[in-house]
Amino acid sequence: MSSERTRRDFLKTGLFGLSSMAAFSALSACSTLDEYIFDDQFDLKDQVLIVGGGISGLYLAYKLRQTRTEFRLLEGSNYFGGRVRSAQGLDFGASLFDRSDVHMQQLIKEFNLTTISVSKDHFAISGGAEMVSQALQNRIAGLMPYRSLRLRWKLVSIRVKDNKYETVFETPNGRRTMHCRKIALTLPPGQWSAVNGLLDLPEMLWARDWLTTLTPENITKVNVVAPNTGGVMSLANKKTRSAILDKDSLAVVAKPLKNNQVGLEFEYITKQVLNPSTFKIESPNNLEIEKIVDLINAKTKLGLSFKKLNSDSFFDWSSVGLIQSAYFKNDRPLPGNVNKNPHFQVFGDYSASKKAHTVEGALLEADRVSSLFV
Ligand SMILES: Cc1cc2nc3c(=O)[nH]c(=O)nc-3n(C[C@H](O)[C@H](O)[C@H](O)COP(=O)(O)OP(=O)(O)OC[C@H]3O[C@@H](n4cnc5c(N)ncnc54)[C@H](O)[C@@H]3O)c2cc1C
C-alpha cells in the first residue's frame, strides 16, 4: 500500500468523527506519527509562521484563517492562552475587560459567550477568560489541527539564511528546523534574549536598547471575578494563599514598592466603592492573604470574610517559565518601521499604541499584523 493511500485511509477512518480539538489532542500525543501522516513540511514557503500561542498569536491565526492565508502556530508551553489562564471558571491572569474593548466585545458576540458585569465600565467572562482563547483555538484548528497548531514547540534560535528565516524549535521529538519567509513573533519581550540570534537580526536592532526600559512588575493580583457566586481571590505568588471571598466583587493589585512597602491598588469594589483607590502597607515579605483581607477590611469597612482554597486550586505564574515575570511594562513605543515589515513582525500586548498591556491591546495588534500578511 502506498504511503499516500495509508494517509488517506487513516484520515477517513481515524480522524473524521472526532471533534477537531479531540483529534488535536489525540494526534499531538504522538507527533512522530503526526509528522508522517501529515507529511510535515519544514519549508513553509509563504505560510506565516506564528510563534507563541497566547491571545496575540491565536487571534492572528484566527484572522488569517478567515482570509484563507496559510499559517503554522507553534507554542512553546503545554497550553494555549499564555497570560489568559482560568480554572474552574476563575481567572488567574486577565480577568477584567473594558466595555469599550471593541475586539473583545466582537469575539464575545461571535463565540456566543456570556459576560458578568463587574462595574459600570468593566465585565468578566462567565466561565473564565480562557473561554475566549479556547473558542479561538477551536476555530483555528480546522480539520487537521496538527497542521495548524502545536504545543511544546519552543523557538530556541533564529537566523536569516538564503533570504529566509531559519528557525530551530525544541520539540517533544528533539530539535526541528523550519524555514519561512513570513514570521510573527508573539513571545513576551522578557523571552527575546533566550532565543539565540533573535536580537542580532537586522529587524531587531532597536530591541536591545528598548529592553533596557522594560520593567517587569512582580505583581500579585488578588482578583475576584465572580460576584454572584462569591468570587475567588487568586494570588500569583507562592508565598501567599488563595481564598474565597463571600461578598461583592473586587480586584486588588499588590505591588512591591521600595523601602519594604507594598502598594495595594483597588481596581473595583462594586456597590460599596465605585472609584479605584490605592493605599500602602509595610512588610511585603509576609504578605499573607489574611493580612491583605484584614487591611482591606480596615480601610474599607467591607467586613469581607474568606476561606482558603487548596493550593492546587490556584495558578502559580512563576511555574510558567516562558512568560517571564508574568507582568511587565514598557511605555516606550516601538520604532515606527517595525510595524510595517510584511515579512517580520514582533508584537503583543506591549506593542499596542492603545490599550497596551491588556488583552484588547493584543487583539488590536494581531488585527493590524494580520492585514500585513494577507
Ligand atoms: C496576573 C495578570 C493579570 C492580568 N489582568 C488583566 C486584565 O484584567 N485585563 C486585561 O485585559 N489584561 C490583563 N492582563 C494582561 C493580559 O493577560 C495580556 O495583555 C495578554 O494576555 C497578552 O497576550 P500575548 O499573547 O500578547 O502574550 P502572552 O499571553 O504572554 O503569550 C505569549 C506566548 O508565547 C509563548 N512563548 C514564549 N516563549 C516562547 C518560545 N520561545 N517559543 C514558543 N512559544 C513561546 C508563551 O508560552 C505564551 O503562550 C493580566 C496579566 C497577568 C499576568
Ligand 1 in reach of 351 Cβ (< 6 A): no
Atom of ligand 1 nearest to the CA of 362: 26
Average pLDDT over residues 248-262: 62
Q: Is 366 exposed, middle or buried (0-12, 13-18, 19+ CB in 10 A)?
A: buried
Q: Say if residue 247 is in the same domain as residue 273.
A: yes
Q: Is residue 150 part of a domain?
A: yes
Residue-level pLDDT at 157: 98
Q: The domain spanning residue 357 has which CATH number?
A: 3.50.50.60
- For the cut 80, the answer to whether the pLDDT of residue 180 exceeds it is yes
Average pLDDT over residues 23-49: 65
Q: Say if residue 359 is in the same domain as residue 240.
A: no
Average pLDDT over residues 195-207: 96
What is the best residue among 83, 322, 325 to mutate for testing ligand 1's pocket, by most ligand atoms within 8 Å of CB? 83
Residue-level pLDDT at 224: 47
Cα of 82 from ligand 1 centre, angstroms: 4
Residue-level pLDDT at 274: 43
Residue 319's pLDDT band (boundaries 50, 70, 90)? confident
Q: Say if residue 295 is in the same domain as residue 342.
A: no
Share of the chain above pLDDT 70, in %: 64
Atom of ligand 1 nearest to the CA of 92: 1
Q: Say if residue 210 is in the same domain as residue 227.
A: no
Average pLDDT, the chain: 78
Q: Say if residue 285 is in the same domain as residue 203.
A: no
Atom of ligand 1 nearest to the CA of 79: 49
Q: Is residue 22 part of a domain?
A: no
**Domains: count for the chain:** 2
Cα of 39 from ligand 1 centre, angstroms: 32
Average pLDDT over residues 192-200: 97
Atom of ligand 1 nearest to the CA of 361: 19
Q: Which of 179, 193, 184, 177 is nearest to 57 (CA)?
A: 184
Cα of 78 from ligand 1 centre, angstroms: 14
Give the three-state DSSP class for 243: strand
β partners of residue 76 = none
Of 319, 338, 360, which marks where a domain is finished?
Answer: 319
- For the cut 90, the answer to whether the pLDDT of residue 176 exceeds it is yes
Q: Whose CA is nearest to atom 43 of ligand 1?
A: 76
Is the model more confident about 195 or about 128?
195
Share of the chain above pLDDT 90, in %: 44
Q: Whose CA is nearest to atom 26 of ligand 1?
A: 348
Other Cβ atoms less than 10 A from the Cβ of 97: the count is: 22
The residue written with cell numbers 477517513 in the block is 12
Q: Say if residue 268 is in the same domain as residue 337.
A: no
Q: Say if residue 163 is in the same domain as residue 272.
A: no
Q: Say if residue 56 is in the same domain as residue 136.
A: yes
Average pLDDT over residues 61-73: 95
- pTM for the whole thing? 0.84
Task: Give the domain range for residue 273.
Answer: 216-319
Q: Say if residue 233 is in the same domain as residue 355.
A: no
Of 297, 319, 341, which marks where a domain is finished?
Answer: 319
Ligand 1 in reach of 187 Cβ (< 6 A): yes
Q: Say if residue 168 is in the same domain as residue 289.
A: no
Average pLDDT over residues 197-217: 93
Of 292, 319, 346, which marks where a domain is finished?
Answer: 319
Alpha carbon 289 to chain centroid distance? 26
- For the cut 50, the answer to whether the pLDDT of residue 47 exceeds it is yes
Cα of 290 from ligand 1 centre, angstroms: 28
93-119 pLDDT, tens digit per residue, is 888 899 999 999 999 999 999 988 766
Q: Is residue 283 part of a domain?
A: yes
Cβ 250 vs Cβ 266: under 8 Å: yes
Atom of ligand 1 nearest to the CA of 191: 38
Round to whole Å and give the CA distance between 69 and 148: 11
Ligand 1 in reach of 94 Cβ (< 6 A): yes
In terms of average pLDDT, the best of 142-146, 226-230, 253-257 is 142-146
- For the CA atoms of 247, 225, 307, 279, what is the dihedral angle to 10 degrees? -80
Q: Is residue 288 part of a domain?
A: yes
Q: Say if residue 367 is in the same domain as residue 302.
A: no
